[in-house]
Chains A and B, each alone.
Chain A
C-alpha cells in the first residue's frame, strides 16, 4: 500500500457528505411539514375553483301559475395575476364600457376596504349580471383577454309586474351576511326581502364547484382528479305561494292612484290570497345592474313605494273594531245578545253617534249602523262589570281580560312562526301604559273611552285586521297568515278567548252591513257577504277609508281588510274595493265593470305613480 498516509481524512469527507445530506433532510422537513404557505401557494397556482351557481327555485302562485323564473346572465370575473398585455381600449369597446368606468372598477376591486377578499390569485368580479346580448361580443373575444373569465349566473325574471313586496328581491350579500353564513362568498347574491329572503335557503340550492387544473400559462388543462373533487350544484327548490296572482293583479289595479293596502286571507288555512300595497313597483326593476339606481329612486320617493303597508303600516281600526269589541264584551259578560243601549244620535255623550236610528239600539243594529254610543256603553259595562274595587283592582282585572282577549285575536303581537318578511305588532295599550300616563288610579272607563270605538292607542296592521275577519269567518280561531302553500301551519290553530257561540250574532250584524248598512251598495247579488266599514280620523289630512269583511257568510273562502289612506268614508272607497276583490275571488271574474273602472281610475293622490 503506497501513499495511504492520510487514511483518517476519509472521516472528514464522510462527515462533509453526511452533514450536507442531514441539512437537506432538515430543509425538507421545514418545507414539507412545518411550512404551510407552500401548500396554499400550490392550490392557488394549479387549481382554479370555478363556482357553479345553481338555478334558483321558481315561484308559482296557488294555481300553479309561474310567477318568478330565471334567465341566464353572466358575470365577468378576472384573476389579476393572469392578466397580461391587456389592450384596455379594445377591452372596453368589447364590453361597451368607458375607460373611466374600467379604471374606477379596477380601483374599487383593488381597494381592500371596499373589497376585503381581494387577492391577485383568486377570481374577482369585474362586472356582474350582464345579459346575453350585452356579453355576446365578449364571449367571442374572451380568448384575447387572458385572466378574464365569464361566469354563468341567473337573474330573476317576472311573469307579471305585480306582487313585488311579496317576492322581495335579490341583491349582493353584505359583509355581515358572509360572516354569518359561510355559504356566501363576496359577490354572491341572496334574497334581501320578501319570500326571496324568508325562503332563501329553500330557493337558493347548493352551489357547486368545478375544480380545474391550470398550468403555468393560465391555460385550463382539464379537470382536477377527473372531476372527482367537483361538486355538482343542487338546484334550488321551487316555491308555491298562497297568492292568487289574478286577485293580486285586481287588487293592485284597484289601488291605482291611492295610498293603501289590501290583505286577503283564506280563513280555514291562513293562506294569504293577496297582499297588495300601493304605491308599489314592478319587481323587474330591482333586477340586475339597474337595481341600485332604481332602488335609490324608490328609497327617495316620498310616497314610500318600498314600504309594505299591508304588514308594516299601523292604523287605528276605527269602526272596523266594533265586531271584535262586540265579541269580547259578549264573552266577558258586559252585554248579552239582547242588551240594548240608548242612543241620542249627535247629542250623545261622551261619544256622539253619526247615524240616525231608533233608540234604544240592539247589538245587531249597533253593528249595522255603527252606533258609537252602543259600543261605548258596552265597553264601559264590561270594564265596570264588577265595579272598580279597591284601588280600581276589579276594573283593572276586567281591563286585563279585555286586553288578553284582543291579544288572542292577533292584536298587539307579531304572528309566531310567520314566514312574512317583516311585520309589526300593532298596539294595545297595557295597564302599565295607562298607570304611567294617568297614575295608578287615575284612569277609568271614561278615560279610555276612545278604545271602545277602535280609536286612540289601539293600532293594527291591515294584515291583523284581515286575520280578525278570518277568525270571525272561522267562528273563533285563526291560522298564522302565511305565503308558502306547502306549509304545515294548518296544523296549528290559534283559538281565541271568545267562545264560538258568540260569533253568530256578530256575523249576523256584519251581514246586515251588506244588506242594509254602509255596505249595501256593494253587495254582490246572490251572495251573502259580511263586513264592516271604518272611517278613521288621523292627523294627516282626510280620514282613512277602511273596510273589513268576509264572504260568503256560510263557509267563507275569503277574509279581507282594505285601507285607503286619506280617502274619506270607508263606505266610499274601501268597501267597493273589498267587494270587487271578493267578486274576483269567489266568482273568478268581475262583472261590475263600471264599478271596477270607476275605482281603478280614480286618482286620489296624484303623487302616487306606478313604477
Chain B
C-alpha cells in the first residue's frame, strides 16, 4: 500500500499514538482546569483557554506534518544555522521582550507570543547531536568537549538573563546525553552528591548538636563525603585494606572527640568533621604514591571541593538565589511551612491531587481546580487537574504514557545507524524526562516550584509547538532509517 520508503510507512506509529493521546488529554484537562462555573464555554470557544489550545493543537499538527515532509538531511545540514538563529532570537528577546511576571522571555508578535527559550531546547539538542556525531569526536579531548559545554551554557546564560531560571535549568538535562556518549559517569554521581550535600547542609545547619558546639548539617555532610570515599575505595578501586583503615581511623577519632566533649571541654563538631575529612586528602595521596595507582587524585581533589562547597553553601543559597527561590526550596525541605504564602501553591496542589482518591471526582467535577485554588492550573499545574478529576488511576495512566514514550524513544535511539540521529533522540528523551520529572515532582511536592510546562499537556502554544517540533524531527529522522541512500 505505501511505498517502502514513504514516511507514512516507516514512521513510528507508537510514538505518534502516544503523542496524540497526550495532546488530546491535555486539551480536555485544560478545558477542565479553566472551566469556569460562571462562564461555561465550549471546548471550541476561542475566547477560552480550551478553544485557544484547540488552535495550538491544530497548528502543531500542521507543523508536525510539514516537518515530516522535509528531507531528513535538512536537520543535519542546518543544525548550526538553526542554533545560531535561536541564539539570536534569545538575545533579541532580552532587549525587546516586555516584562511579564518578572521575566523577559516572550516575543510578542501581534496576537501570537512565543517563547524563544522553548525553541532553544530543540536547537540545542540538534547542535549537540551535530557536534558529537562529527567524525572522530572524542569526549575526553578538550577541543571537542569545551565547545560542547559552550553550546549548552550559551542558551542557559541567555535564558538566565531573561530571568527564566526554570527554563534555563532544563539545559542541565543534556548531561544525560553527554553521559550516553562517553562523559565520565563520576561527573553525574558527583553532581548528585553535591545536591545531597547542599540539601543536608541547608536543612540541618539550623539544628545544633546537643551539649556541644556545631550543627548537624556539617557533620552529616562530612559523613556523606567519608562514606562516599569508603564506597569508592572498597568497591571501585578494591583496596579493601585501605578502606578499612580509613573507616577505623575516622571512627576512632570521632569517638575520641565525643569522649573529650563529654568529660573535658566543649568541642565544636563542625571543625572536627571538617578537619577529619580534610585529613583524608593527604592520606589518599600517600596511598596513591605507595600503590602507584592513579585513581585517587581526583577523589582527593573532589573532597576538598566538597568541603569548600559545604562551607559556603549557606552563602551560595543566600547570595545566588533570590528570596522567593530560597523560600520555595525551604518549603520543599520542610524547613518552613507557609501555607498562605509561598507554600500555598504546593499545599493546594497536594490537596487537589489528594482529594482525587482512587477514581477521581470525574471530568469537570474537580472542586479544587475549578475554584482556582490551584494557581496556574492549566499550565504548570495541569497535572493537578488530572489528579483531582481522574484520581490515582488517571495520574498513573499519564505517567505510564510518559514512561512508554521515553522507553520507546530510547529504543528508537538505539536502532539508528547514524550517530546524529541517535544523539538527537537522546536529547529528545532527556528533555522530555526533565520536564516530566520537575513538573510532576513540583505538583507532588517533591521538587521545588520551578515553572516549566508538562510536555504536550500544559496549555500554551510555545511549549506545545516546541515539543511537537522536537518530537517530529525525531520521527522524521527515524523514518529515514529504511530509506535507500
Whether A25 touches B414, Cβ cut-off 8 Å, given contacts A42-B367, A216-B373, is: no
- One of A11-19, A70-78, A425-433 contacting the partner: A11-19
Partner of B444, one of A17, A28, A221: A28
30 A-B pairs with C-beta separation under 8 A: A2-B419, A4-B422, A6-B180, A7-B414, A10-B410, A10-B413, A10-B414, A14-B410, A17-B403, A17-B406, A17-B410, A21-B402, A21-B403, A24-B441, A32-B357, A32-B358, A33-B392, A35-B354, A39-B354, A41-B351, A42-B368, A45-B367, A45-B368, A46-B367, A47-B367, A213-B371, A216-B348, A216-B372, A217-B372, A221-B370
CB closest chain-A residue, reference B388: A42
Residue of chain B at shortest CB distance from A7: B414
**Cβ–Cβ contact B352 & A42, under 8 A:** yes
Our pick among A13, A33, A43 for the contact of B357 (Cβ within 8 Å) is A33
Knowing A20-B433, A28-B396, say if A38 contacts B353 (CB, 8 Å): yes
- On A, residues with C-beta under 8 Å from B are 1-7, 9-10, 12-14, 16-18, 20-21, 23-25, 27-29, 31-33, 35, 37-39, 41-43, 45-47, 213-217, 221-222, 224-225
Complex Cα–Cα for A14 and B406 (A): 8
Which residues on the B side are within 8 Å of A45 (C-beta)? 348, 351, 367-368, 371, 373
Question: Which A residues are in CB contact (< 8 Å) with B353?
Answer: 28, 31-32, 38
* Range of interface residues on B (Cβ < 8 Å): 35 or more
CB distance from B361 to the nearest CB of A (A): 9
Q: Is B34 on the interface with A (CB-CB < 8 A)?
A: no
**B399 touching A13, Cβ below 8 Å:** no
Could you say which residues of chain A place their CB within 8 Å of the CB of B350?
31, 38
Minimal Cβ-Cβ distance residue in A for B347:
A41
Q: Which residues of B contact A27 (CB under 8 A)?
A: 444, 446
Assembly CA distance A459 to B381 (angstroms): 79
Interface residue ranges of B120-162 to A (CB < 8 Å): 132-133, 135, 137
Q: Is residue B181 within 8 Å, beta carbon to beta carbon, of the partner chain?
A: yes
- Min CB gap B334→A, angstroms: 15
Knowing that A9-B185, A24-B440, A43-B355 touch, tell me 15 more A-B residue pairs with CB under 8 angstroms.
A2-B135, A13-B180, A13-B410, A24-B446, A31-B354, A32-B354, A32-B358, A33-B358, A33-B392, A41-B351, A45-B368, A47-B367, A217-B372, A221-B38, A224-B367
> Which partner residue on chain B sits nearest A223 by CB separation?
B37
Inter-chain contacts of A10 with B (CB < 8 A): 180, 410, 413-414
Known: A24-B399, A33-B392. A216 touches B371 (CB 8 A): yes
- Residues in A neighbouring B365, C-beta threshold 8 A: 225
Interface presence of B64 (CB below 8 A): no
B48 to chain A, nearest CB (A): 16
Please state if A32 and B395 are interface contacts (CB–CB under 8 Å).
yes
Shortest CB-to-CB span from A85 to chain B, Å, is: 14
Residues of B within 8 A of A221 (CB): 37-38, 370-371
**Bound Cα distance from A241 to B446, whole angstroms:** 67
Given contacts A10-B410, A46-B367, contact A28 B419 (CB under 8 A): no
In the bound assembly, the distance between CA atoms of A213 and B407 in angstroms comes to 42
Does residue B179 face the partner (Cβ distance < 8 Å to A)? yes
Which residues of the other chain, B, contact A43 by a CB distance below 8 angstroms?
355
Least CB distance from B443 to A in Å reads 10
User: Which of A33, A35, A41: most chain B Cβ within 10 A?
Assistant: A41
Of the listed residues A13, A45, A222, the one surrounded by the most CB atoms of chain B closer than 10 A to its CB is A13
Separation of A217 and B356 alpha carbons in the complex (Å): 22
Nearest-Cβ distance from residue B449 to partner chain A, whole angstroms: 16
B396, B413, B426 pick with most chain A CB within 10 angstroms: B396
A260 CA / B310 CA spacing, docked (Å): 90
Interface residues of B in 355-389 (CB under 8 A from A): 355-358, 365, 367-368, 370-373, 387
- The answer to whether B32 has its CB under 8 Å from any CB of chain A is no
Contact between B354 and A42, CB atoms less than 8 A apart: yes
Residues from chain A with Cβ under 8 Å of B135 in the complex: 2
CB nearest to A31 among chain B residues: B354
Partner of B373 from the list A4, A5, A35, A46 (CB cut-off 8 Å) is A46
Residues B371 and A41 in contact, CB atoms below 8 Å apart: no
B287 adjacent to chain A (CB < 8 Å) = no
Q: Which residues of A contact B391 (CB under 8 A)?
A: 32
B395 touches A3 (CB 8 A): no
Q: Which listed residue, B372, B392, B406, B410, touches A29 by the CB 8 Å rule?
A: B392
* B227 interface contact, C-beta 8 A: no
* Residues in B whose Cβ lies below 8 Å from that of A23: 446
Complex formed: what's the CA distance from A180 to B29 in Å? 46
Q: Does B429 contact A (CB under 8 A)?
A: yes
Q: Is B319 positioned at the interface, with any CB of A under 8 Å from its CB?
A: no
Q: Of B38, B370, B392, B402, which contacts A28 at CB under 8 A?
A: B392
In angstroms, Cα B11 to Cα A577, docked, is: 109
A residues less than 8 Å from B370 (CB atoms): 46, 213, 221
The answer to whether A25 touches B396, judged by C-beta atoms less than 8 angstroms apart, is yes
Chain A residues near B436 (CB-CB < 8 A): 21
Please name all residues of chain A whose beta carbon is closer than 8 Å to the beta carbon of B354 when the two chains form the complex.
31-32, 35, 37-39, 41-42
CA A217 – CA B371 in complex, angstroms? 9
List chain A residues, Cβ under 8 A from B372.
215-217
- Are B444 and A31 in touch, CB under 8 angstroms? yes
Q: Are A14 and B179 in touch, CB under 8 angstroms?
A: no
Question: B residues 426-466 with Cβ under 8 Å of A?
Answer: 426, 429, 433, 436-437, 440-441, 444, 446
Instruction: Find out whether the CB atom of B433 lies under 8 angstroms from the CB atom of A9.
Output: no
Q: Chain A residues with Cβ under 8 A from B396's Cβ?
A: 25, 28
- B348, B367, B437 interface centre (most CB from chain A within 10 Å): B367
- Which 6 A/B pairs are nearest by Cβ-Cβ distance? A38-B354, A42-B355, A46-B367, A215-B371, A41-B351, A32-B392
Establish whether residues A28 and B179, one from each chain, have CB atoms under 8 Å apart when the complex forms. Answer: no
Cα–Cα, bound, A213→B36 (Å): 12
B392 touches A3 (CB 8 A): no
Selected from A1, A31, A37, the residue in CB contact (under 8 A) with B417 is A1
Question: Which one, B181, B357, B419, contacts A39 given CB within 8 A?
Answer: B357
- The interface residues of chain A lying within 8 Å CB-to-CB of B437 are 20
Chain A contacts of B38 at CB under 8 A? 221-222
Q: Are A4 and B419 in contact (CB under 8 A)?
A: yes
Whether A25 touches B399, Cβ cut-off 8 Å, given contacts A31-B444, A45-B368, A213-B370, is yes
CB contacts (< 8 Å) of B402 on chain A: these are: 21
Check B407 against A17 for contact (C-beta < 8 Å).
yes
Contact of B181 among A6, A38, A47 (CB under 8 A): A6
| Complex Cα–Cα for A35 and B357 (A) | 9
A20 to B444 alpha-carbon distance, docked (Å): 12
Q: Tell me which residues across on chain A come within 8 A of B137, comparing CB atoms.
A: 3
Residue from A9, A14, A20, A31 whose CB has the most chain B CB atoms within 10 Å: A31
Q: Is the CB–CB distance between A3 and B351 below 8 Å?
A: no
Q: Are B182 and A5 in contact (CB under 8 A)?
A: yes
How far, in whole Å, are A216 and B344 apart by their CA atoms in the complex? Answer: 11
Give A42 to B355 CA distance when docked, in angstroms: 6
Which of A20, A24, A39 is within 8 Å of B355, CB to CB? A39
- In angstroms, Cα B347 to Cα A37, docked, is 11
Query: How far is the CB of A18 from the nearest CB of chain B, in Å?
Result: 7
Residues of B near A25 (CB, < 8 A) are: 396, 399
- If A24-B441, A31-B350, A32-B392 touch, does A13 touch B356 (CB 8 Å cutoff)? no
* Residues of chain A with a CB closer than 8 A to B176's CB: 13, 16
In the bound assembly, the distance between CA atoms of A221 and B440 in angstroms comes to: 29
With most chain B CB atoms within 10 A of its CB, the pick from A6, A37, A42 is: A42
Contact, CB under 8 Å: B37 / A213: yes
Q: How far is the CB of A590 from chain B (nearest CB, A)?
A: 67
* Beta-carbon contact of B182 and A6 below 8 Å: yes
User: With A and B bound together, what is the CA distance between A23 and B372 in angstroms?
Assistant: 28
Smallest CB-CB separation from A213: which chain B residue?
A: B371
Nearest chain A CB to B86's CB is how many angstroms away?
A: 25
Tell me if B373 and A215 are in contact (CB < 8 A): yes
Q: Which residue of A lies closest to B180 (CB)?
A: A9
In chain A, what residue has the closest Cβ to B417? A1
User: What chain B residues lie within 8 Å of A35 (beta carbons)?
Assistant: 354
Between B355, B370, B407, the greatest number of chain A beta carbons within 10 A of the residue's beta carbon is seen for B355
Instruction: List B contacts of A21 (CB < 8 A).
Output: 399-400, 402-403, 436
